[in-house]
């Protein structure tokens, strides 16, 4: 199987930060807070997560100029594991599409 697609909406909890990889690729990084109510086994449950997001390439600069902390967005892309600052693996959403929700 090779399916890997996620769509998630939420609120930016930090300002987008531009970085450049050793290969010279521009990345825009930020975190998004998702909260919702979902039905599971015929019961309503509260869902909450904080999802790290990365946008690469030409889209990274555009996104960093269009969104800011507190904005509500819808993101779709694929998941990949990255090592965080403490060396632990975490899932990161690599955004291929971002829509600002007004």
Would you kindly state where each structural domain of the chain is located, as residue ranges?
A: 6-101
Please give the DSSP secondary-structure letter assigned to residue 63: H
The 10s digit of each residue's pLDDT in 43-91 is 999 999 999 999 999 999 999 999 999 999 999 999 999 887 788 889 9
H helix runs in the chain, sequence order: 58-66
Which CATH code fits 6-101? Answer: 2.40.50.140
Whole-prediction pTM: 0.90
The 10s digit of each residue's pLDDT in 4-54 is 999 999 999 999 999 999 999 999 999 999 999 999 999 999 999 999 999
Question: Which contiguous run of DSSP H or E holds residue 89?
Answer: strand 89-101
């Amino acid at each position: 199987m090779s399916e890997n697609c996620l769509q998630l909406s939420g609120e930016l909890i930090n300002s987008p930060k531009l970085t450049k990889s050793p290969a010279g690729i521009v990345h825009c990084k930020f975190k998004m807070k998702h909260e919702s109510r979902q039905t599971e086994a015929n019961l309503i449950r509260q869902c909450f997560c904080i999802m790290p997001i990365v946008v690469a390439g030409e889209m990274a600069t555009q996104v960093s100029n269009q969104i800011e902390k507190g904005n509500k967005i819808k993101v779709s892309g694929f998941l990949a594991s990255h090592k965080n600052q403490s060396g632990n693996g975490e899932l990161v959403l690599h955004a291929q599409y971002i829509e600002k929700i007004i």
